[in-house]
C-alpha cells in the first residue's frame, strides 16, 4: 500500500502543478519525498493536511491509493462499496 499511496500522492500533487516546496508550511521536503517514494506512511492527521494542501478531500487520496494498488478495479465500484458499508455502519 505504501507504493500505491506514493503514486497517488505524487500524481495528485502534480495534477495541481504543486512542487514539494509548496508543502513547506505543513511538511519538510525530505518527509514528502519519503512519502512519494513509498518509504513512509502518513498519520491520518498528516493525510488530511496533505490533501488540504493539494486542494482535495483526504478520501480522494485513499481512493486513488486503492485504485493504484489494484485492490479495486474501478472508481464506481469502490465508491458504491464504501457508500453501502458506511450506510450499514451508521444504522447501528
Q: Given pLDDT bands bounded at 50, 70 and 90, which one contains residue 92?
A: confident
Q: Given pLDDT bands bounded at 50, 70 and 90, which one contains residue 81?
A: very high
CATH number of 2-90: 1.10.260.40
**Residue 45, class by beta-carbon neighbours within 10 Å (0-12 exposed, 13-18 middle, 19+ buried)?**
exposed
- Give the residue with greater pLDDT, 92 vs 16: 16
Q: Given pLDDT bands bounded at 50, 70 and 90, which one contains residue 70?
A: confident
Compute the C-alpha angle 82/84/85, nearest 5°: 65
pTM assigned to the model? 0.91
Amino acid at each position: 500500500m505504501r507504493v500505491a499511496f506514493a503514486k497517488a500522492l505524487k500524481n495528485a500533487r502534480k495534477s495541481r502543478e504543486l512542487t514539494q516546496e509548496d508543502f513547506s508550511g505543513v511538511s519538510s521536503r525530505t518527509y514528502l519525498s519519503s512519502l512519494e517514494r513509498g518509504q513512509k506512511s502518513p498519520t491520518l492527521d498528516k493525510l488530511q493536511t496533505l490533501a488540504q494542501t493539494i486542494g482535495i478531500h483526504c478520501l480522494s487520496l485513499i481512493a486513488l491509493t486503492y485504485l493504484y494498488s489494484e485492490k479495486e478495479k474501478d472508481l464506481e465500484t469502490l465508491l458504491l462499496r464504501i457508500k453501502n458499508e458506511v450506510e450499514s455502519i451508521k444504522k447501528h
